[in-house]
């Protein structure tokens, strides 16, 4: 019986063989590979293990598949209708998240052998109304506001950002695995010895908030982790007093979190906080400063995503390399959306709407270490500073 080491070596050999065949021309682009059964027998592997190697090389663009034909060497020839559209919000086309998402989308489409077209929703609507928008095989509509969304029409299959809803059974969705992110953040703090871990959310406590669904899901992960550890969330949950209207109003999020955090920061029993996002974290730190809580008594903090905003009206309370955070890989979100569109347009996937969740990765930083009280946190700029900066 082959050992695990033997299997790994044989998998590596199969991979090297296929890569070498690509480099030396033994298999030219477009030439069909031997059958999976033949490759598995030749390299002493099971069919599922050999298939895993093939899938990895397909994902890297070394091979490609045709659902009714087989697996081929090299990138597939570009076909009619292999243009894919990404529509982004107009107000933040150069936002770091949007740029990263766009890069992931374009790279994946290129890797698969297609072409991409990326437009903000204003331009996309203008092109469509003028009859200039080309027909595409699929569209990733990343706009949030319903009035900004593009109708599918001639744009083929569609993917959106968010969760699959009962009335959208024909629209695939990509979303971050927020529940798991909440669990990761909480388990990290539990492993460090914290037991009274608060959650500072941005969704309203009294309603099912679809706009801030990600905040609600991160709270759910926080609850699950506490329950698994034998702790209770009672008295450790802090929400804005009123529902927030817009997800992209960053100052509104920050101010609502600050107001909700005033009670939190006066609780000496709370030693750690999971904050719903960067703006909730900024609100928390502002509340700590305004309440004049000595920095040595500040709780450990885990947030979500990076701190990309460094303009005068989005003054950072902390450096992006200080706060522990769950990194949201926006480039992977773009890649996942591209893969869904490709699979749908090629007939490799059919049936009801698919929900693809992209995992996050915890980045531990100083806000969860003993050195945290020693880190100087820049204060909020005065109103005069904001005016001069404007």
pLDDT along the chain (390 residues), means of 10: 80 86 71 85 89 85 74 62 86 77 94 90 88 89 72 74 78 95 98 96 73 92 97 93 73 92 95 95 93 92 71 44 91 96 87 93 93 67 35
Measured CA to CA, the distance from residue 50 to residue 10 in angstroms comes to 9
Which pLDDT score is estimated for 387? Answer: 31
| 265: Cβ contacts below 8 Å, ≥ 6 apart | 284, 287, 288, 291, 293
Which pLDDT score is estimated for 147? Answer: 62
Same fold, 83-161+330-358 and 178-323+365-389: yes
Which pLDDT score is estimated for 390? Answer: 27
Beta bridge partners of 139: 85, 158
- ∠ at Cα 351 (350, 352), nearest 5°? 130
The pairing of strands 324-327 and 361-363 is: antiparallel
Which helix H or strand E contains 323, and what residues bound it? Answer: none
Neighbours of 79 (CB within 10 A): 12
User: What's the Cα-to-Cα distance from 129 to each of 57, 85, 122, 153, 318, rounded to whole Å?
Assistant: 41, 16, 11, 12, 44
User: What's the Cα-to-Cα distance from 44 to each of 3, 6, 7, 15, 102, rounded to whole Å?
Assistant: 12, 9, 8, 13, 41
Which pLDDT score is estimated for 129? Answer: 87
Where in the chain are the domains?
Answer: 4-73, 83-161+330-358, 178-323+365-389
User: What's the Cα-to-Cα distance from 354 to each of 84, 164, 226, 285, 350, rounded to whole Å?
Assistant: 18, 8, 30, 39, 9
Neighbours of 312 (CB within 10 A): 12
Class of domain 4-73: mainly alpha
Neighbours of 354 (CB within 10 A): 16
Beta bridge partners of 288: none
User: What's the Cα-to-Cα distance from 343 to each of 66, 193, 336, rounded to whole Å?
Assistant: 10, 45, 11
Neighbours of 246 (CB within 10 A): 11
Q: DSSP H helical segments within 60-147, as ranges?
A: 96-112, 121-129
Measured CA to CA, the distance from residue 159 to residue 85 in angstroms comes to 10
The residue to which tokens 């895993």 are assigned: 52
> pTM of the prediction?
0.74
Measured CA to CA, the distance from residue 374 to residue 371 in angstroms comes to 5
Tokens of 196: 């009274």
Classify 214 in phi/psi space as left (phi over 0), alpha (psi -120 to 50) or beta.
alpha
CB-based contact 216:292 (threshold 8 Å): no
Measured CA to CA, the distance from residue 58 to residue 63 in angstroms comes to 4
Which pLDDT score is estimated for 299? Answer: 96
Q: What are phi and psi of 104, to 5 degrees?
A: -65, -40
Which pLDDT score is estimated for 152? Answer: 57
The fold for domain 178-323+365-389 equals: Rossmann fold (3.40.50)
Right CATH for 83-161+330-358 from 3.30.70.20, 3.40.50.2300, 3.30.1490.100, 3.40.50.360: 3.40.50.2300
């Amino acid at each position: 019986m082959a050992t695990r080491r033997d299997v790994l070596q044989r998998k590596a050999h199969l991979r090297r063989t296929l890569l070498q065949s690509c480099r030396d021309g033994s298999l030219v682009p477009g030439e069909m590979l031997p059958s999976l059964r033949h490759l598995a027998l030749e390299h002493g592997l099971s069919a599922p293990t050999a298939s895993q190697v093939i899938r990895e090389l397909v994902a890297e663009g070394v091979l490609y598949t045709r659902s009714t034909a087989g697996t081929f060497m090299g990138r597939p020839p570009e076909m009619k209708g292999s243009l894919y559209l990404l529509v982004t919000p107009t107000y933040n086309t150069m936002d770091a998240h949007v740029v990263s998402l766009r890069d992931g989308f374009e790279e994946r489409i290129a890797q698969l052998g297609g072409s991409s077209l990326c437009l903000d929703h204003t331009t996309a609507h203008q092109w469509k109304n003028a009859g200039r928008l080309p027909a595409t095989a699929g569209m990733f509509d990343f706009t949030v506001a319903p009035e900004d969304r593009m109708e599918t029409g001639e744009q083929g299959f569609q993917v959106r950002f968010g969760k699959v809803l009962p009335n959208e059974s024909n629209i695939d969705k990509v979303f971050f695995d927020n529940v798991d992110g909440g669990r990761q953040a909480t388990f990290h703090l539990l492993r460090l010895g914290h037991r009274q871990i608060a959650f500072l959310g941005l969704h309203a406590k009294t309603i099912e908030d679809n706009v801030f669904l990600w905040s609600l899901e991160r709270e759910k992960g926080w609850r699950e982790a506490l329950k698994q550890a034998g702790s209770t969330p009672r008295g450790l949950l802090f929400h804005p007093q009123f529902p927030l209207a817009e997800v992209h109003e960053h100052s509104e999020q920050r101010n609502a979190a600050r107001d909700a955090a005033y009670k939190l920061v006066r609780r000496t029993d709370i030693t750690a906080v999971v904050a719903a996002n960067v703006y909730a974290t900024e609100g928390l730190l502002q509340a700590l400063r305004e309440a004049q809580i000595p920095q040595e008594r500040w709780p450990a903090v885990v947030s979500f995503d990076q701190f990309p905003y460094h303009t005068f009206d989005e003054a950072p309370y902390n450096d992006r390399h200080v706060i522990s955070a769950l990194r949201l890989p926006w480039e992977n979100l773009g890649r996942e959306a591209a893969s869904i569109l490709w699979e749908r347009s090629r007939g490799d996937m059919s049936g009801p709407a698919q929900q693809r969740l992209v995992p996050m990765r915890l980045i531990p930083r100083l806000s969860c270490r003993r050195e945290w009280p020693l880190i100087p946190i820049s204060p909020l700029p005065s109103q005069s500073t904001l005016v001069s900066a404007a």
